[in-house]
């Protein structure tokens, strides 16, 4: 994995652009039908009377879309080995059909592994923006190899 | 919403069974192709050499499956109005094709809204089990109406 970013390279504050994701109504409804069949993720009319004020993506769909951008743009650059969880997901604003999302992944925390000298834990805050404003923060915490490890 | 559980009904420690979810290889691969295209979620051979030791579902897929059980079994029982995030997701053990997951949703925290007297925030720890052991904890934090509100 020479040339890849290792644990030692990922200083707190370092930031990485992770591309874009175009949100469609079809995908919002399809994800909701499969995983989160609440009326405000399925139906325009029902959504108008909900707290979201109109059809919007499931928060877990926002996490999944964010993972796609992180997997395409950040993971290939790093000596990543998988992850054991997410520290938090904050869904701040509705994600609508027609939005084009982009992610900025910022290193907010690093921690050496207690038991294993070959890996470390790195927390990335994935800040998700639409065309106008930030709509979510999804925390990704991949395990990253230390330098000198494959 | 008479008959539904309101904020005042959801005491810390109260626990709700949320049904089951049968995991298939097709769904693991399909979700990964769409949202988390890392080799250990896509390909048996590549997965054998990863930390997962074999093909396993994306952690975000585990969150989505858990949401489906929570949406089918918990949300209809409560005066729920949506959610603003998840406090944490812990992916403890690999989720494999052939697993039948079940969720136990336990109230771990309740908090009145600072600004709005009609709602409260309830944290459910969704404990996810396969046939043998716990595999994940996914925290769901829906907004729940207070009693006397619709």
In chain A, % of residues over pLDDT 90: 89
Assign A109 a pLDDT band (cuts: 50, 70, 90).
very high
| B46 in reach of chain A (CB within 8 A) | no
Contact present, A100 and A22 (Cβ < 8 Å) = yes
Q: Which residue, among A56, A84, A86, would best test binding to B if mutated, counting the most B CBs under 10 Å from its CB?
A: A86
Q: Which of B67, B87, B143 sits opposite A60 (nearest CB)?
A: B67
**Nearest CA to CA, how far is A105 from chain B (Å)?**
16
In whole angstroms, what is the distance from residue B1 CA to residue B30 CA? 37
Give A89→chain B minimum CA distance, Å.
Answer: 5
For residues A53 and B59, give the distance between their C-alpha atoms in angstroms, rounded to a whole number: 30
Q: CA–CA separation, A62 vs A89, rounded Å?
A: 9
pLDDT at A34 over 90: yes
Q: What is the pLDDT of residue A150?
A: 57
Q: Is the pLDDT of residue A51 over 80?
A: yes
What is the reported pLDDT for A86? Answer: 96
Burial status of residue B112 (CB atoms within 10 A of its CB: 0-12, 13-18, 19 or more): exposed
pLDDT tens column, A8-17:
999 999 999 9
- Residue A79's nearest CA partner among A19, A7, A17 is A7
When pLDDT is cut at 50, 70 and 90, the band that residue A83 belongs to is confident
Instruction: State the pTM of this model.
Output: 0.96
Mutate to test the interface with A, among B35, B37, B66, B80 (most CBs of A within 10 A): B35
pLDDT of chain B, 150 residues: tens digit per residue: 468 999 999 999 999 999 999 999 999 999 999 999 999 999 999 999 888 899 999 999 999 999 999 999 999 999 998 888 999 999 999 999 999 999 999 999 999 999 999 999 999 999 999 999 999 999 999 999 999 875
Contact between residue A64 and residue A31 where contact means Cβ atoms under 8 Å apart = yes
Angle at B131 between CA B98 and CA B90, to 5 degrees: 90
Q: Which residue of B has its CA nearest to A72?
A: B37
3-state secondary structure of B106: strand
CA of B52: which chain A residue's CA is closest? Answer: A82
- Cα separations (Å) of A146 from A7, A74, A85, A86, B145? 5, 17, 20, 21, 48
ipTM score of complex = 0.95
Which residue in chain B is spatially nearest to A33 when comparing CA positions? B68
**Residue A18 near residue A138 (C-beta atoms within 8 A):** no
Q: Which of A31, A81, A86 faces B51 most closely, judged by CB atoms?
A: A81
């Amino acid at each position: 994995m020479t040339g890849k970013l290792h644990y030692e390279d990922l200083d707190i504050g370092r930031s990485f652009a992770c591309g874009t994701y175009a949100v469609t109504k079809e995908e919002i409804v399809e994800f909701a039908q499969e995983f989160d069949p609440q009326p405000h993720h399925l139906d325009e009319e029902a959504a108008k009377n909900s707290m979201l004020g109109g059809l919007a993506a499931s928060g877990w769909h926002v996490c999944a879309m964010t993972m796609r951008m992180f997997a395409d743009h950040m993971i290939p650059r790093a000596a990543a080995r998988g992850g054991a969880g997410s520290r938090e997901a904050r869904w701040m604003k509705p994600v609508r059909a027609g939005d084009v999302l982009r992610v900025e992944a910022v290193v907010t925390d690093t921690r050496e592994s207690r038991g294993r000298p070959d890996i470390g834990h790195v927390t990335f805050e994935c800040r998700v923006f639409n065309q106008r404003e930030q709509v979510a923060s999804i925390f990704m915490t991949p395990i990253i190899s230390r330098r000198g490890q494959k």
